[in-house]
A and B are shown apart, each in its own frame.
Chain A
């Protein structure tokens, strides 16, 4: 991490969309420990899509929501850091990559199939 510091800052967020259409965004920085942040960062930097989807499935089973989940995604946004002595021009974080797990509910209330979508947006 510090042998070759990234020339950008990042944010990793969870985006949860419920079946009633309500969406909620939360920051992994506030929710997760440094070790978990390291794990989440690795999912993006090492392009570990299958692991990311597995993690989102696990995360979905550990969320308490008033309504069933429609989708859950893990987003990484970045903001370039200018070199020393140069003023920053951009101030908004730009979405760099996203892993999305959609839930498709069948007729049976007990059964939920997963549709894995979200080819990472670069």
Chain B
């Protein structure tokens, strides 16, 4: 989890840099001096402390975030790295146009601080350590994502479109938010209604309950993975799906990781020789 989150932070901050520069750069919206209402932050951020109109500060936040991610991924100085990452993430999320995905990234950063300060983030990869840690920090991640799903489903119930099964019909009809044309799905009301109902079931009941049952845990993780990958592939929802999949890592056991690793290794061993054999005649 630590390594994945650290690697993700590098990608996250790099993608945010243009938006931060547009808002808070030397010639950004705040610097233009017009009444650009910044979203007021409840706590001091790097931008409020240093400057909210400087390319240097924007790059400082970007590179600090990326560097803290790299240090987290490596496993060195976990306590400090998780703190720096949290400061950078909080500075950014409370300043830029952010969505629920960004707030989840902030939640993840906070939970990483708790785990880091408790010494639960492990050691660098090259220092093999079989030391067992208390489960409480992992449980926080697990409970967080279960709550996210449940209350997301709960709030959806307040909407008539989700209630009557038409929500997905309107979602696929929005070309503005689609990566490619999926409006043809709206011609199949039965299908869109079924997907709408499945999403509600998954968020309200299936994941929050069955994820805790050992026999169905892998199935729920697999369903969730497929669900989020499909949405990511078809819709322009940013950040949310990536960070949710990082939360899924909290449910993986060492046996799951070994299973995935063995499966991948056997797949690579079978596929690579076949691919090479297919390619060789072409080169000849």
Binding site for B on A (CB under 8 A): 1-7, 9-12, 29, 33-39, 42, 48, 50-51, 53-55, 57-58, 61, 81, 83-85
Contact = CB atoms under 8 A, between A and B. Distances in A.
Contacts of B16: 35
B97 A39 contact: yes
B189 interface: yes
B176 to A, nearest CB: 5
A108 B159 CA distance: 56
B54 to A, nearest CB: 16
A11 to B, nearest CB: 7
A37 B176 contact: yes
B254 interface: no
B237 interface: yes
* Residue in B18, B176, B237 with the greatest tally of chain A CB atoms within 10 Å: B176
Interface in B202-258: 236-238
A1 B177 contact: yes
A38 B235 CA distance: 13
Contact of B159 (A3, A36, A37): A3
Contacts of A36: 19
Given A2-B171, A9-B175, A39-B97, A83 B166 contact: yes
A8 B88 CA distance: 37
Given A5-B161, A42-B97, A58 B237 contact: no
Given A50-B35, A54-B36, A58-B29, A4 B238 contact: no
Interface residues of B, number: 39
Interface string B11-35: 0000110110010000111001011
A48 B35 CA distance: 11
A50 B176 contact: no
20 contacts: A1-B177, A3-B162, A7-B170, A9-B173, A9-B174, A9-B175, A9-B176, A12-B176, A33-B19, A33-B238, A37-B176, A38-B99, A50-B36, A54-B34, A55-B29, A58-B27, A81-B174, A84-B169, A84-B193, A85-B189
B32 A84 contact: no
Contacts of A29: 176
A5 B159 CA distance: 9
Contacts of A3: 152, 155-156, 159, 162
B97 A38 contact: yes
B174 A61 contact: no
Nearest to A57: B32
Identify the 9 closest CB pairs spanning chains A and B, nearest first. A84-B189, A5-B170, A34-B236, A39-B97, A54-B34, A81-B173, A34-B238, A4-B159, A84-B169
